Amino acid sequence: MLPAARPSPAEYAFIFDMDGTMVDNMAYHAQSWLAFFARREQNLDEAAFFAATAGRQNHEIFRQFIAQDLSDAECAALAHEKESMYRQLYAAHRAPVPGLLNLLAEAKAAACALAVGTAAPPENVAFILDELALRPHFDAVVGSQEVARGKPEPDIFLAAAERCGVSTEGCIVFEDAPLGVEAARRAGMPCIALCTTYDAAQFADFPNVVACIRDFSEISLPQLLAHLKPGLRKPS
């Protein structure tokens, strides 16, 4: 069961995907996934694989591409292998996407709630949020192990809004992948698309995408708030 929503005066919440959004790390995930499957003599088309899986939970991916009847323990062991490869590759390159820290500070000063909604496993969340000292900025962090379904289902973003005590109309999502943007749409939330992994054309058909940006320096707090409806906070 998810924790109850925190008491909060916030009328708005900014919900951030992590991989490819807060950090530009998807190339390293790509390398680790391709190496992981190559060990199993599976040579995947990189573009097609990521279009089908970005934002999904690891066990969903393993059961699609390896075997449907994998046990939870088998999935956990496979995830440990793949994610260890990724962390080794990316460790020396960790850095927030330009403009992120400034936007977090401005949003916090404006009394906006801040949350992370990520399909990443706990070890990867700690690898980014703790090693880059980002966790203290956030009121809530929702990971894949805390919800039943990964993206494109809206579970992660709905849980993040609930924990922030803000209704969906007062939330805006930051995402880098079409499946994540679709999850935001299903949650009833507008979305800012980060073009770290895909170009803007990949988001053209999503009605909830209100801007496509290369990094956070290209968007301002007033522009973000203009897409939200205030005064809709859920009761604490």
Identity of residue 147: V
Quick one: which H or E segment has residue 38? helix 26-38
Cβ-contact 26, 19 below 8 angstroms: yes
Helix (H, G, I), strand (E, B) or coil at 141: strand
CB contact burial 73-110 (16+ within 10 A = b; e otherwise): eebeebbeebbebbbebbeeeeebbeebeebbeebeee
73 contact partners, CB below 8 Å, separation of at least 6: none
* 111 Ramachandran zone, left/alpha/beta (phi>0; psi -120 to 50): left
Q: Check 17, 24, 155, 176 and give the catalytic one.
A: 17
Angle between helix 72-90 and helix 26-38 axes, rounded to 10 deg = 130
Tokens standing for residue 10? 């916030």
- What is d(CA 121, CA 140) in angstroms, rounded to the nearest whole number? 15
- 199 has catalytic annotation: no
Closest CA to 212 of 194, 185, 189, 190: 194
Tokens standing for residue 62? 């393993």
Residues noted as catalytic: 17
